[in-house]
Structure 1
Amino acid sequence: MKTDFQFSNLLGTVYSRGNLLFTPDGTCLLSPVGNRVSIFDLVNSKSHTLPFAHRKNIVRLALNPRGNLLLSVDEDGRAILTNVPRRIVLYHFSFKGAVKALVFAPSGRLFAVGVGRQIEVWHTPSTPGVADGDLEFAPFVRHRVYTGHFDNVQSIEWSSDSRFFLSASKDLTARIWSTDPEQGFIPTTLGGHRQAVVGAWFSQDQEIIYTVSKDGALFEWQYMPLPDAPEDADEDDEHMQWRIAERHYFMQNNAHVTCAAFHASSKLLVTGFSNGTFSIHELPDFSQIQTLSISQNDIDFVALNKTGEWLAFGASKLGQLLVWEWQSESYILKQQGHFDAMNAIAYSPEGQRIITAADDGKIKLWDVNSGFCIVTFTEHTSGVTASEFAKRGNVLFTASLDGSIRAWDLIRYRNFRTFTAPLRLSFSSLAVDPSGEVVCAGSIDSFDIHIWSVQTGQLLDRLSGHEGPVSSLAFAPDGGTLVSGSWDHTVRVWNIFARTQTSEPLQLMADVLCVAFRPDSKQIAVTTLDGQLTFWSVSEAMQQSGVDARRDVSGGRKMTDRRTAANIAGTKSFTTVKYSADGTCVLAGGNSKYICLYDAQSGVLVKKFTVSVNLALEGTQEFLNSKLLTEAGPRGLIDEDGEASDLEDRIDKSLPGTRRGEGARKTRPEIRVPDVAFSPTGRAFCAASTEGLLIFSLDNMFQFDPFDLDITVTPATTISTLADQEYLKALVMAFRLNERNLIRRVYEAVPASDIALVVKEMPSVYLGRLLRFVAVQADESPHLEFNLIWVEALLSKHGRWMKDHKTGLEAELRSVEKAVKRVQVELARMADENIYRIEYLMTQPVEQNVKIGELDFAYDAMNEDLDNESMTNGNDGDDGDGEWMGFE
């Protein structure tokens, strides 16, 4: 089994805090998600997460006008410059202070950053390979520092010619600055607001300046003469200055402005309020175009795309991300993550969907390929603790603390069955028979296992035997056996379909936390509270091997811990364990930042995955920083919000010791991995963490494979080889470079008659890539017959090889099968539609047969014309095709 899993995507969280960005073409939206950046393709309905990660949560993003350089800054002012198309980190830099505003100039040569009360303008680093050809030694060169504000700078806006910029601050003022000294220009302060200025913008002709404050006041500034100025004063005269020409107010009851954005070309001003509503006004008339309530909490940020048609809103408290098209009044994107921590995840049997269940009582269905949430179920009234698919994949079962087990139909997206116990219990574990006939659940309130019939919904039986709460349940894949783990230090094996229900207890040394069946139903893996991972034979009821995992899983210390990370007791056990698809490895996670992959036969630790390096979470750092220790204790535990200037920032609604619900602490949540799941194909696994749903995959399209490369293999030589009609060599060279556009160009240039020969001679090392590429093309490309010829050639020429290497090609074969089935369905539907059209036409022959004599006359006249034309052209008029094909 391959173990080189790499981080590929982050689901379950769409927006956390910070600003949103549209790409220059307006088709993609960049959103900060914790310490990572997610990109949502709004046209193709796909999303992906950039591979880099900050050490703290991201607060500001900026994209250069070309759209290829992304600058992201975290809470500590540490910045990362990224090449977006290549997803490569170029430089790391520190601004040495908290950054509140960041924006590139329209020229792309400079960018301005608000660091506290100061504004710093820096030169944009050159793109490697474009300007100088190599990485620069000092890529960040500061142009100038601008001082004058008395409080934090909240926004910066450039003029269209990049000569001037506006800054808005919490000191109730906005200021006009020049990038370089301009003759006759004096930095100007625009004062008059009664609360902090949220934003300031130039009009398109730069004759008007608009400023919006937190209390809902909009001021229109113009360069006008003073009241006592003479009538013949010039624009360059000292009697001219920026003055308020108009005052407008947003009449929102008990709500203040939280964000605002202005689109200069269309003169649209969009403002978001603390009550979850937004409004669109047209300036300078201040005519209201639209008002809509989209959230129950503050709207943190609003952004407009280049054309001004799409509005992006982010609300951090509920994790909402919305893209609204205001002209058609419709949502382009509407996504929301879980409000509380995830508890359980499950892969669908075909591996294309993932279920997440959380403490907020919601169940979300995520599409693996697109990264979007398809549907959300909200029927549970309390936290959902377990979820499992039926074997066929169209039915999902979930267990909740509200005392119910629910069955969901994933075709019609509805809850079709609810199972309850005679007493009110909080269910914590769940198991479904592979045939889908019975469902079992265990509770922390009762020591019995409840069994229901899926068809009737009736309670069939209660299995007694455990002397402690049942923590985990698992059905054997062959459906004959049920195993249960309990806090009474035992694992019991039940044969519930036998005439007499008997249980075989397996004695362990500590509380059982999780049990999992191997796919062949012959072995189970058990994790216990003392950090042991043991493997047991089901048929012999004997322990086969064991692993002491305490050192492997322990890592990371909290701010209140008195001991080092290696000696903390709470992180020394696995709370979840899962087998891989082939049963050779197990994946385990717990209340730490590590996920461990073990070889099931030898017990060797194969690989260790780090869930997060975000220092804003508890339990991610190995050693405490002595610089952050004060006389009153760790600085992170000192309440600094009580000194905040705004009332909403001072209010703390969290309850001490609460881990679930609205009263839980949101500032420094603990890092943990409550559940992991392997993909049925074995090519990926996902993990539910504090930050979201992490997906680790072997199929990374942006991986560069340097093997079999030499200096002669370049895109130019590949194209020249293709021009020489050496299709096999060109295709192999394209796969060596692993450039998708280049592979597609060579792929589509191969003549249909030569496909079988090219496939036959293709080296086996590239067959997996070719099969994967053909599957993607069959799903995306319009060349229907051409793609099917490739599929047929691959299966006929290398079918035996694929059968021998089926384990490593499951994902590719499933993709091909899915694409072929889609083509079959579409062709069948099109054929059915044509049949109905033909039948319809055949039932309408009356009007054509009414005037048969006229048709015969037309037929004779047509033949006469043909004969005359033939004689005129020198032909004899009878070449064997004398019949008119229109009427036989």
Structure 2
Amino acid sequence: MKTDFKFSNLLGTVYRKGNLVYTQDGTQLLSPVGNRVTVFDLVNNRSHTLPFAHRTNICRIALHPGGQLLLTVDEQGHAILSHLQRKILLYHFSLKGIVSSLVFSPGGTHFAVGIGRRIEVWKTPAAPGSRDDAANDDEGGALEFAPFVKYRQYVGHHDTVQNLEWSSDSRFFLSASRDLTARIWSLDPEEGFTPTVLAGHRTAVYSACFSADQETIWTISKDGALFRWQYLPPPDSDPDTVDPEEERWRISDRHYFFQQDANLTTAAFHAPSNLLVTGFSNGLFMIHDLPDFSEIHKLSISASNIDTVSINNSGEWLAFGSSALGQLLVWEWQSESYILKQQGHFDSLNALSYSPSGDRIITCADDGKIKVWDTASGFCIVTFTEHTSGVTACEFARRGNVLFTASLDGSVRAFDLIRYRCFRTFTAPKRLSFSSLAVDPSGEVVAAGSLDDFDIHIWSVQTGQLLDQLSGHEGPVSSLAFAPNGSALISGSWDRTVRIWSVFARTQTSEPLQLQADVLCVGVRADSKQLAISTLDGQLTFWSLSKGTQEAGLDGRRDVSGGRKATDRRTAANIAGTKSFNTVTYSADGSTALAGGNSKYICLYSVETGVLLRKYTVTVNLSLSGTQEFLNSRLLTEAGPQGLLDEQGEASDLEDRLDRSLPGSKRGDAAQRKVAPEVKVPGVAFSPTGRAFCAATTEGLMIYSVDAGVQFDPFDLDVDVTPESTLKTLARREYLKALVMAFRLNDDRLVRRAYQGVPTGDVDLVVRDLPLVYLERLLRHAARDTDASPHLEFNLLWLESILRQHGRLLKDKQGDYAEVTRLVQRAVARIQGEIFKVADENARTIDYLLNQPRGGGGDTKAVDVKMRLMDEGRRGGAVDDDSVTGNVVWEGF
């Protein structure tokens, strides 16, 4: 089995904090998810997470107008410059301060960044292979050695700069600050221009922006005041005798958003359409048309404040982000419909489960919600909210259409994933909080265990009645699992035993397996012959299910331990809480086992040898507790660790100083969290194909795959690919290279010529070595050529070779190749129908000729025709003889 799994996607988290950015064409949305960035394709309904990660949560992102360079800055001011299309990291840099605003100029030559009270303008690094890069090479290649060059620094504000906005010609930019003012700055010294202060607001200014003609400036403050600024003479002067030197920026109009008990939190202005979008702390957003200030739309989309809003270039789609509940919305205001509506789990994940087909992942969390995620698109399909308390376990039935969940509210529920409804609820005779769950492979029996009781409850799925209560454990039941063949039920308990129950036998017997510590998790291999048991002392043991004897074992305390919290008095290697596995699962073939616990590591072991094959680090995000191996002594103060001190009372605004959180509470309410969430892995699961596994972590649902990474295109940077060079390559019998060059040029006639120029004996070699980035195009061309070309056997050879060598990939990525697979299926079905039709016609003709009366020369002629047809049929040839009665035509392939 392959073990080179790499991070491929992050589900379960769609927005954390920061700003949202659209791409230049407006079809993709970039959202910060913790210390990573997720790209949502709004047209193709897909999402993917960029592979690089920051050391803390991302607070600001900016995209170059060219659409290639992406600049991300975290909470500590560390910046990463990356290439968006190629998903590669280009450069690390530190801005040495907390960044509050970041934006590229429309021309793309500079970017402005607000760091506290000052503003810095930097030169934009050139993208590799771009025209700017070539120009920089002519100038001496300075940007290659110093990608970040500070151009100018601006000071004058007395409080944090909250927003920056460039003019359309990139000569000027506006800054809005918490010091109640907005200022106008010039990139380069302009004749007759001096930096201007726009004062008049009574609260912090959240946004300042230019109109399309740059003759008007709009400023918006926290109290909902909208001021219109124009370059005007004094109000009481005579327009004919006014001195031009007396003209300056003055307030020409005032408007107010009347929202009681709510403050303005974010605003965005679309200059070409004069569209103003504002978000408020009560979850309401409004759309106004300027300069008339006429209200176009108003809608409440969240239960908490809206943190950021973004408008695409066409002004049709509005993107909203709310960090309190992790919501991300894209709203088309003209049709009043949602383009995207996603929300992650509010609390930490507890468990997950793969569907038998591998295209769905179910997650459950302490917020009482069950979410169904599509692995191909990365989006949440449906959310179930029937449980009234935290959901602790979830499991699929064998057929994959029914989902079972266990909750702390004392119920076990069954959900229909076709109609998306709860159709059965199972309860115990007394109130219990269920913590473990197991489903019979037939889907007719469900079992649940609790930490409050020592019995195992078994229900019938058909009737919903309690069938039995299995007694025998002397401690809380921590884990349950049915053998895949349905022969036994395995239960693990804190009484240091694992019991094997024969629940379907005439007499329900149990065989206890004695261990040295409390049992935390039990996993069963797919062939129902072996058990994997994780205990509190960090041991991972493997037992024979039929014999009840231990076959192998390993000590995983040194592998899983790691990560020190600020309150820990011991080092990361000596903390007892991280020295055991809370979850363990087998791979599809049973050769490896995957385990995770309350640390930042996921361990992959070989079952046969007990060797640690790989050790995956879940996250390096320092915003989470438990990601550091060693604590920084500089963060230790006389009052304790700096991260545990409440600095909220030093805020300047009253609503920021108020503490609405419950005393001692870390979860369960929407209040602010004083303690950083701890990194842990409560659940891991392999996909049915074995080519990916997912882990439920504090960051979200992380997917690791062997197919991760950018697909290699050998001619991505080659400028010598022309039709003439392609034909010359084909003449030199370099068939694979010629076919790839033809695909690169995207010329149908050239592709057809290279495709048909491959000899039948080399088809398998070409298909085997073809870069995967061209697999979909080759399959599409073969399917279309099968419909239009008379070369029937040649096209079928291509299709057979593609499906034989890449069939597993086509199955694993059904969402990517669904359309082209349907084209192939349609073409093959049409050929099959035509062949059956011709065969039926030829069979009737042969029967007619064989039934001719014997006599004279006719008998000899019929026998000759029969022998001729049989001979041609054996050789796969074609018969077209006008002398034969019935006009027999037999097309071979």
TM-score > 0.5, shorter chain as reference = yes
Partner of 2:386: 379
Distance 1:21-1:593 versus aligned 2 partners, 3 A rule: same
Q: Tell me how far apart the structure 1 counterparts of residues 479 and 576 of structure 2 sit (CA, whole Å).
A: 22
Partner of 1:694: 702
Whether 2:503 is the aligned partner of 1:505: answer no
Partner of 2:152: 144
Q: Tell me how far apart the structure 1 counterparts of residues 287 and 824 of structure 2 sit (CA, whole Å).
A: 45
Q: Residue by residue, what CA displacement relative to the aligned partner does 1:720-774 show, whole Å, maximum 9, x if unpaired? A: 664347399766448999x99679989954677567827644168537x669934
Q: Tell me how far apart the structure 1 counterparts of residues 87 and 747 of structure 2 sit (CA, whole Å).
A: 21
Q: Tell me how far apart the structure 2 counterparts of residues 684 and 427 of structure 1 sit (CA, whole Å).
A: 29
SS at match of 1:530: coil
Distance 1:745-1:573 versus aligned 2 partners, 3 A rule: farther
Deviation at 1:16, TM superposition (A): 0.5
Q: Residue by residue, what CA displacement relative to the aligned partner does 1:555-608 show, whole Å, maximum 9, x if unpaired? A: 110011111111111111000001001100000000000000000111100000
Distance 1:597-1:719 versus aligned 2 partners, 3 A rule: farther
Q: Residue by residue, what CA displacement relative to the aligned partner does 1:226-264 show, whole Å, maximum 9, x if unpaired? A: 2465544567x3211111111100011111100000011
> How do 1:400-549 and structure 2 match up within 5 A?
400-549=407-556
Which amino acid counterpart does residue 595 of structure 1 have in structure 2?
I
Partner of 2:187: 179
Partner of 2:325: 318
Partner of 1:15: 15
Q: Tell me how far apart the structure 2 counterparts of residues 776 and 555 of structure 1 sit (CA, whole Å).
A: 47
Q: Tell me how far apart the structure 2 counterparts of residues 198 and 780 of structure 1 sit (CA, whole Å).
A: 57
Distance 1:759-1:586 versus aligned 2 partners, 3 A rule: farther
Q: Residue by residue, what CA displacement relative to the aligned partner does 1:41-85 show, whole Å, maximum 9, x if unpaired? A: 101100001111000101101111111111110001110011101
The answer (yes or no) to whether the contact 1:14–1:337 under 8 Å persists in 2 is: yes
SS at match of 2:452: coil
Which amino acid counterpart does residue 652 of structure 1 have in structure 2?
D
Which amino acid counterpart does residue 9 of structure 2 have in structure 1?
N
Pick the aligned partner of 1:773 from 772, 775, 779: 775
SS at match of 1:559: coil
Partner of 2:36: 36
Which amino acid counterpart does residue 624 of structure 2 have in structure 1?
L
> How do 1:547-626 and structure 2 match up within 5 A?
547-626=554-633
Distance 1:538-1:750 versus aligned 2 partners, 3 A rule: farther
Distance 1:783-1:561 versus aligned 2 partners, 3 A rule: farther
Deviation at 1:424, TM superposition (A): 1.1
The size of the alignment, in residue pairs, is 821
Partner of 1:726: 730
Distance 1:118-1:745 versus aligned 2 partners, 3 A rule: farther
SS at match of 2:491: strand
Distance 1:246-1:771 versus aligned 2 partners, 3 A rule: closer
Partner of 1:679: 687
Q: Tell me how far apart the structure 2 counterparts of residues 412 and 728 of structure 1 sit (CA, whole Å).
A: 58
Pick the aligned partner of 1:793 from 794, 797, 803: 797
Q: Tell me how far apart the structure 2 counterparts of residues 385 and 780 of structure 1 sit (CA, whole Å).
A: 49
Which amino acid counterpart does residue 198 of structure 1 have in structure 2?
Y
TM-score (norm 1): 0.87
Distance 1:358-1:242 versus aligned 2 partners, 3 A rule: same
Q: Tell me how far apart the structure 1 counterparts of residues 324 and 85 of structure 2 sit (CA, whole Å).
A: 31
Partner of 1:200: 208
Partner of 1:853: none
Q: Tell me how far apart the structure 2 counterparts of residues 712 and 653 of structure 1 sit (CA, whole Å).
A: 55
Whether 2:218 is the aligned partner of 1:210: answer yes
Q: Tell me how far apart the structure 1 counterparts of residues 280 and 321 of structure 2 sit (CA, whole Å).
A: 12
Deviation at 1:713, TM superposition (A): 10
Partner of 1:116: 116
Which amino acid counterpart does residue 410 of structure 1 have in structure 2?
L
Partner of 2:98: 98
Deviation at 1:412, TM superposition (A): 1.1
Q: Tell me how far apart the structure 2 counterparts of residues 574 and 753 of structure 1 sit (CA, whole Å).
A: 56
Which amino acid counterpart does residue 21 of structure 1 have in structure 2?
V
The answer (yes or no) to whether the contact 1:779–1:819 under 8 Å persists in 2 is: no
**Alignment RMSD (CA, Å):** 3.2
Partner of 2:677: 669
Q: Tell me how far apart the structure 1 counterparts of residues 362 and 739 of structure 2 sit (CA, whole Å).
A: 34
Pick the aligned partner of 1:274 from 259, 265, 281: 281
Deviation at 1:286, TM superposition (A): 0.5
Deviation at 1:807, TM superposition (A): 8.7
Q: Tell me how far apart the structure 2 counterparts of residues 175 and 95 of structure 1 sit (CA, whole Å).
A: 22
Distance 1:730-1:640 versus aligned 2 partners, 3 A rule: farther
Distance 1:461-1:511 versus aligned 2 partners, 3 A rule: same
Q: Tell me how far apart the structure 2 counterparts of residues 634 and 744 of structure 1 sit (CA, whole Å).
A: 64
Q: Tell me how far apart the structure 2 counterparts of residues 15 and 107 of structure 1 sit (CA, whole Å).
A: 29
Distance 1:784-1:595 versus aligned 2 partners, 3 A rule: farther
Gaps of 5+ in 2: 833-893
The answer (yes or no) to whether the contact 1:111–1:123 under 8 Å persists in 2 is: yes
Q: Tell me how far apart the structure 1 counterparts of residues 749 and 533 of structure 2 sit (CA, whole Å).
A: 51
Which amino acid counterpart does residue 167 of structure 2 have in structure 1?
S
The answer (yes or no) to whether the contact 1:722–1:746 under 8 Å persists in 2 is: no
Distance 1:290-1:717 versus aligned 2 partners, 3 A rule: closer
Percentage identity across paired residues of the two chains: 65
Distance 1:122-1:493 versus aligned 2 partners, 3 A rule: same
SS at match of 1:66: coil
Deviation at 1:186, TM superposition (A): 1.1
Q: Tell me how far apart the structure 1 counterparts of residues 717 and 210 of structure 2 sit (CA, whole Å).
A: 51
Partner of 1:811: 812
Whether 2:313 is the aligned partner of 1:306: answer yes
Which amino acid counterpart does residue 317 of structure 2 have in structure 1?
W
SS at match of 1:238: helix
Gaps of 5+ in 1: 832-888
Whether 2:117 is the aligned partner of 1:126: answer no
Partner of 1:388: 395
The answer (yes or no) to whether the contact 1:471–1:486 under 8 Å persists in 2 is: yes
Which amino acid counterpart does residue 512 of structure 2 have in structure 1?
P
Distance 1:165-1:756 versus aligned 2 partners, 3 A rule: same
Partner of 1:886: none
Q: Residue by residue, what CA displacement relative to the aligned partner does 1:20-49 show, whole Å, maximum 9, x if unpaired? A: 001111110000000000000101100001
Q: Tell me how far apart the structure 2 counterparts of residues 341 and 294 of structure 1 sit (CA, whole Å).
A: 23
Q: Tell me how far apart the structure 2 counterparts of residues 78 and 148 of structure 1 sit (CA, whole Å).
A: 24
Distance 1:549-1:366 versus aligned 2 partners, 3 A rule: same
Q: Residue by residue, what CA displacement relative to the aligned partner does 1:532-566 show, whole Å, maximum 9, x if unpaired? A: 10000111111111110000001110011111111
Q: Tell me how far apart the structure 1 counterparts of residues 726 and 329 of structure 2 sit (CA, whole Å).
A: 45
